[in-house]
Amino acid sequence: MIADDGLVWTVIFALGAGSFLIRFSFLGIVGRRPLPEWLLRHLRYTAVAVLPGLVAPLIFWPEATGGELDPARLLAAGFTVILGLLTRNILAAIMGGLSTLYIVQIALRLI
C-alpha cells in the first residue's frame, strides 16, 4: 500500500511535466527549422526501430505466463504479422491474431 499522498501527487506532476517535455523536445524547440539530411534519414526508421523492440519482450516473455515462452502467444503473434503483411488491414490483423490466441489456448486445454 502506498500511504503517502504527497509522494503520489509529486510523482504524478513531476512525471507529467517530464513526459511532456520529452514529447515537446523536438516539436517545440526545433519547430520549422530544417533538420540535417543524415538525421532525417535516421528518423525515417524511428517507427520500425522503436515499436518492434517495445513489443518483442512482451511476446517472448509475457508477464501473464510468468515470463515463460507461450506457444499460443507466439502463434498469435506470428499470425498477426502475416495477416498485417498480406492484408495491410490493421483491424483484420488484430482480430485474426486475437482469434488465433483464443483458438490455440482452447485447443491446448482440450489436449
Partner 1 sequence: MTVTTSKSAYALGLQDGFPFIIAVIPFAVLFGVVATEAGLDLLQVLSFSVVVIAGAAQFTALQLMIEEAPTLIILVTALAVNLRMAMYSASLTPYLGDAPLLTRAFVSYFLVDQSYACSIVRFEENPEWSTATRVSYFFGAITLVCPMWYVMTVVGALIGTSLPEWLALDFAVPITFLALIAPMLRTIPHLAAAVTSIVLALVFAFLPYNLGLLIAAVSAMAIGAELERRT
In the complex, minimum distance from the CB of residue 82 to partner 1, in angstroms, rounded to a whole number: 8
Among residues 101, 41, 94, 42, the alpha carbon closest in space to that of 73 is found at 101
Angle at 23 between CA 21 and CA 24, to 5 degrees: 60
Judged by beta carbon, residue 52 or residue 107, the one nearer partner 1 is 52
In the complex, minimum distance from the CB of residue 44 to partner 1, in angstroms, rounded to a whole number: 7
In the complex, minimum distance from the CB of residue 60 to partner 1, in angstroms, rounded to a whole number: 6
Judged by beta carbon, residue 44 or residue 68, the one nearer partner 1 is 44
Angstrom distance (rounded) from CA 30 to CA 54 = 26
